[in-house]
Amino acid sequence: MKIIFVHTFYKVPGGEDTVVQNEMELLRRNGHQVDLVEFKNEGNTFAKILFSPFNFFSYLIIKEKIKSIRPDLIHIHNLHFAASASVIHGAHKMGVPIVATLHNYRFLCPSGTLYFDGELFLDSLKTKVPWKAIKLGVYRNSRLLTFLLGASNYIQHKIKTFDKISKFIVLGEHSKSLFLNSHFKNYHQKFVVKPNFSPSTSTAVVEEGSYFLFVGRLSKEKGVETLLEAFSATSIKLRIIGSGEFSDEIISRCSIHKNITYLGQQPQHVVKEQLNGALALVFPSQWYETFGMVLIEAYSRSVPVIASDLGNIKTIVEDGKTGLTFEPGNAQDLLKKVTYYNNLPTTIKAEYRCNARKAYEKANTPEINYNLLIAIYKDAISNHSSQL
């Protein structure tokens, strides 16, 4: 099978970028030809958002790539903003079936996260024109940019752009429910749940770690404030990997609270090394995460997770078995769960570690994911052929 992946890479590498690379490598290892059409959001962001309803250059790029490769299928990961919805129109014009993974909520709300000003923001689910989001300026606190993004989404619905997509992949049942309780409800037959995977480790780590670990973007919706408040009230060791708006605050906290160590942004091999030495991963996110790649990366190394009891996370972290859950945004509850886990007997912690690895082997291995992905591709191709 010949597949073209389409992805707009972020300025700061994130989980979506990792998923793209993982899936491409997985398909190639299984004998498929995979080509990447890559876009980047470097340069004039305003111009890219302005042309997000239809970017003629992106349209030409995808058409030329299809003429050259003659793929069986196009797999779209992230269109925002440089690629734009013109990629969908180009692929459809060339008669190629399209699968799209919905890594975020950009098609539902200009915020992309359904989170604004420290709270979940779900008003955009109720209307095709996100008037309240525009009034508040949920994207970069800009009413103009938010209006342009909202208008782009509205235009795509009016001209039935999403009719051209054969399958929508969502990463969890909660994400699916959000889309199907919005103006995407008419596409319910096209939605399929396929979680992400983590490349297999040769052996699971069985040794008990010596610190708790946070890995991710250092932003409000990721629960960084909750994390810092909890660990500033204890001597339990915490290591933090990532970059973002809270970097300076974390550096300041580290100078006062010696149990907190900031490692900055690190490459993937360093993240894996740090996971190997962790007692547990802390995942205090306060928005409806579509997945959370680091969760299964931890599981693959037998590292339990202490996470917010929220959205898709609840289906990944089984409280009292593969980790512990706490009330989102509640630093005291997080501290309570961290202290509880830290004080558990070694034998009980070993059970958590064993359960974490089993959870990975049950649902998130490359082998399982490959079979799911190919089944989706075949279904998309079959449905597309029947409509010609």
Q: Give tens-digit pLDDT for 28-41.
A: 999 999 999 999 87
Q: How many CA within 13 A on the CB side of residue 287?
A: 22
How far apart are the C-alpha atoms of 86 and 143, rounded to whole Å?
24
Q: Is residue 202 part of a domain?
A: no
The DSSP string of 142-179 is: -HHHHHHHHHHHHHHHHTTGGGG-SEEEESSHHHHHHH
Pair (340, 374) in one structural domain: no
SS (H, E, C) 223-243: CHHHHHHHHCCCCCCEEEECC
Q: In the prediction, which pLDDT does 44 show?
A: 67
Which tens digit of pLDDT belongs to each residue from 180-210?
999 999 999 999 999 999 987 656 666 778 9
Pair (70, 178) in one structural domain: yes
Which tens digit of pLDDT belongs to each residue from 217-266?
999 999 999 999 999 999 999 999 999 999 999 999 999 999 999 999 99
Residues of the chain with pLDDT > 90, as a percent, come to 87
- Number of domains the chain contains: 2
Q: Is residue 193 part of a domain?
A: yes
For the chain, where are the alpha helices, taking DSSP H only?
A: 15-29, 45-50, 56-69, 86-93, 131-136, 143-158, 173-180, 224-231, 247-256, 268-276, 293-300, 313-316, 331-342, 346-363, 366-386
Pair (238, 350) in one structural domain: yes
pLDDT at 280 over 70: yes
Q: In the prediction, which pLDDT does 20 show?
A: 96
- Of the pLDDT bands very low, low, confident and very high (cuts 50, 70, 90), residue 142 is very high
Mean pLDDT of 144-168: 95
Amino acid found at 170: V
Pair (220, 252) in one structural domain: yes
Q: Is residue 204 part of a domain?
A: no
Q: In the prediction, which pLDDT does 133 show?
A: 97
Pair (122, 24) in one structural domain: yes
Closest CA to 124 of 194, 56, 184: 184
Pair (235, 382) in one structural domain: no
Which tens digit of pLDDT belongs to each residue from 54-106?
889 999 999 999 999 999 999 999 998 889 999 999 999 999 999 999 999 99
pLDDT at 369 over 70: yes
Pair (8, 141) in one structural domain: yes
Q: Is residue 47 part of a domain?
A: yes
Q: What is the mean pLDDT of the chain?
A: 94
Q: In the prediction, which pLDDT does 94 show?
A: 96
Q: In the prediction, which pLDDT does 279 show?
A: 97
Pair (345, 371) in one structural domain: no
CATH code at 285? 3.40.50.2000
Q: Is residue 339 part of a domain?
A: yes
How far apart are the C-alpha atoms of 169 and 29, rounded to whole Å?
22
In this prediction the pTM is: 0.93
Residues of the chain with pLDDT > 70, as a percent, come to 96
Pair (181, 238) in one structural domain: no
Q: In the prediction, which pLDDT does 150 show?
A: 94
Pair (357, 382) in one structural domain: no
Q: Which domain holds residue 80?
A: 2-197+366-386
Q: Is residue 206 part of a domain?
A: no
Pair (305, 293) in one structural domain: yes
Q: In the prediction, which pLDDT does 73 show?
A: 98
Q: Is residue 313 part of a domain?
A: yes
pLDDT at 46 over 80: no
pLDDT at 152 over 70: yes
Q: In the prediction, which pLDDT does 91 show?
A: 97
Mean pLDDT of 41-61: 82
Q: In the prediction, which pLDDT does 291 show?
A: 94
Distances from the Cα of 251 to the Cα of 29, 68, 235, 246, 329, angstroms: 42, 50, 17, 9, 21
Pair (30, 148) in one structural domain: yes
Mean pLDDT of 317-343: 98
**Higher-pLDDT residue of 128, 286:** 286
How far apart are the C-alpha atoms of 52 and 57, rounded to whole Å?
11
